[in-house]
């Protein structure tokens, strides 16, 4: 679907008289398209992009060198956003590349937060500090250590394998909701992963606080509406709670019967009934659910929920593991998840970590300044 949309977008731009696209955006959009020769993932789109002159077409070069040279061009120009396109993938690798070089031959189940357009500035107005050793296949970056992953949700199925019907227009008696096995399994998996998110955030009712409640619903949306605005708690907090209650009460068991997933009822105090009733009257049920679910699907699609050692909530790519560190590189707007290997680190993906997306790490000495060796 992403590839079809990319081609449709290019067609519209051509018909509108504006054709050239950013090379990294187009490489991301065509990541799932196949190429007999790996270098053509880059060479094949040069006629469609701005900045094509930065790439010299040379079929004598190894594909690894083509990809690396493109990444180095951006890094030497101080444009660390190229790292956002580096994603640890479960798909087998055709090429042997450092983790700081995007591998355009591997499918990207997760689009970078940069591509999705999430507004943030994790490293504030700092300038990039990057040393590159192409021969050794490593770079050194200055930044701040933000936190460490403690636990990761393993319930979410990534990637989703079926296209879900329009749940907003589906009644409880719709045949698709009760006879479509693929739909039922996918929908149940989504509900279970949301339920598990609550269990990881609040293992017992005693762990619940209203501060954690707010942090979790804001994390569920990456603290942004679909329009990239910071959501207001008076509306979105109760709407999120209503969404989880409604979805969990409409989970289908193996026999196609409703099966409640009641964990939210055991940990969230039921003190919002008047607010929920008022919101239901103002927005309508579907309007409430769409506000929150739409933002969640835009920012968090195919990402895994995690909880850090400091009890912060976040989202990262499928390869996230307990013990991975979360860092902010100077000069880069998005935080990254790094996995420790051989005296250095490999980039897992960009990530969202609640409360540290807008330069907060620079306001205190609590976040260690370090040099990170990326292999």
Reported in sequence order, the residue ranges of 100-206 that DSSP labels E, i.e. its strands, are 130-133, 138-152
- Per-residue pLDDT at 59: 95
Burial 245-264 (b: 16+ CB within 10 A, else e): bebbebbbeeeeeebebebb
CA distance 161 to 364: 44
* Distance, CA of 139 to chain centre: 24
The answer on pLDDT for 86 being more than 90 is yes
Question: Does residue 177 or residue 89 have the better pLDDT?
Answer: 89
Give the HSE-up count for residue 138: Cα atoms under 13 Å, Cβ half-sphere: 13
- 246, pLDDT greater than 70: no
Q: What local confidence, expressed as pLDDT, does residue 168 receive? A: 47
Over residues 108-134, the mean pLDDT reads 93
Instruction: Report the pLDDT value the prediction gives residue 242, as an integer from 0 to 100.
Output: 75
Query: According to the model, what pLDDT value does residue 247 have?
Result: 65
DSSP 56: -
pLDDT digits (tens, 9 = 90+) for 135-152: 999 999 999 999 999 999
158 Cβ neighbours under 8 A, 6+ residues apart = 109, 302, 304, 318
pTM for the complete prediction? 0.85
CA distance 331 to 372: 14
Beta bridge partners of 271: none
User: Domains of the chain: which residue ranges?
Assistant: 2-112, 160-301
Render pLDDT for 88-103 as a digit per residue (tens, 0 to 9).
877 777 899 999 999 9
Lowest mean pLDDT among 14-23, 326-335, 346-355: 14-23
pLDDT at 111 over 80: yes
Q: What are 283-310's pLDDT values in tens digits?
A: 444 566 778 888 999 999 899 999 999 9
How many CB atoms sit inside 10 A of residue 339's CB?
Answer: 18
* Averaged confidence pLDDT in the chain: 83
Listed ranges 17-21, 159-163, 180-184, 312-316; the one with the highest mean pLDDT: 312-316
Q: What would the pLDDT profile of 205-220 be if each residue is shown by its tens digit?
A: 788 888 998 999 999 9
Residue 1: both structure tokens together: 């679907």
Is beta strand 21-22 parallel, antiparallel or unpaired with respect to 49-50? parallel
**Percent of the chain at pLDDT exceeding 90:** 50
Tokens matching residue 42: 């880059």
> Can you tell me the distance from the alpha carbon of 52 to that of 62, in angstroms, rounded to the nearest whole number?
19
Contact 177, 185 (CB under 8 A): no
Tell me the average pLDDT across 53-67: 93
């Amino acid at each position: 679907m992403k590839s079809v949309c990319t081609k449709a977008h290019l067609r519209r731009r051509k018909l509108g008289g504006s054709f050239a696209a950013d090379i990294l955006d187009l490489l991301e959009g065509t990541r799932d398209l196949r190429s007999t020769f790996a270098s053509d993932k880059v060479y094949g789109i040069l006629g469609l992009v701005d900045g094509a002159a930065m790439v010299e077409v040379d079929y004598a070069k190894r594909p690894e060198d083509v990809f690396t040279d493109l990444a180095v061009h951006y890094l030497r120009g101080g444009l660390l956003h190229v790292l956002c396109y580096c994603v640890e993938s479960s798909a087998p690798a055709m090429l042997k590349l450092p983790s700081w070089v995007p591998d355009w031959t591997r499918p990207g189940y997760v689009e970078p937060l940069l591509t999705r357009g999430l507004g943030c500035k994790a490293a504030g107005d700092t300038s990039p500090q990057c040393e590159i050793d192409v021969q050794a296949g490593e770079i050194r970056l200055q930044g701040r250590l933000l936190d460490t992953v403690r636990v990761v949700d393993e319930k979410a199925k990534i990637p989703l394998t079926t296209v879900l019907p329009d749940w907003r227009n589906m009644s409880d008696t719709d045949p698709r909701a009760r006879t479509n096995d693929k739909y039922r399994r996918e929908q149940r998996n989504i509900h279970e992963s949301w339920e598990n998110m609550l269990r990881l955030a609040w293992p017992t009712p005693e762990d619940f606080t209203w501060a954690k409640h707010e942090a979790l619903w804001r994390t569920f949306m990456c603290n942004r509406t679909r329009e990239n605005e910071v959501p207001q708690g008076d509306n979105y907090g109760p709407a999120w709670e209503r969404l989880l209650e409604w979805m969990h009460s409409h989970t289908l068991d193996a026999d196609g019967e409703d099966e409640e997933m009641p964990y939210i009822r055991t940990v969230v105090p039921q003190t919002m009934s008047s607010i929920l009733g008022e919101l239901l009257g103002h927005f309508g049920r579907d309007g409430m659910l769409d506000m929150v679910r739409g933002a969640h699907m835009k920012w968090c699609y195919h990402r895994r929920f995690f909880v850090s050692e400091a009890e912060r909530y976040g989202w990262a790519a499928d390869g996230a593991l307990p013990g991975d560190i979360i860092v902010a590189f100077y000069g880069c707007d998005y935080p990254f998840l790094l996995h420790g290997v051989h005296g250095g680190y490999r980039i897992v993906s960009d990530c969202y970590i609640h409360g540290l997306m807008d330069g907060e790490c620079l306001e205190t000495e609590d976040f260690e300044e370090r040099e990170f060796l990326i292999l």
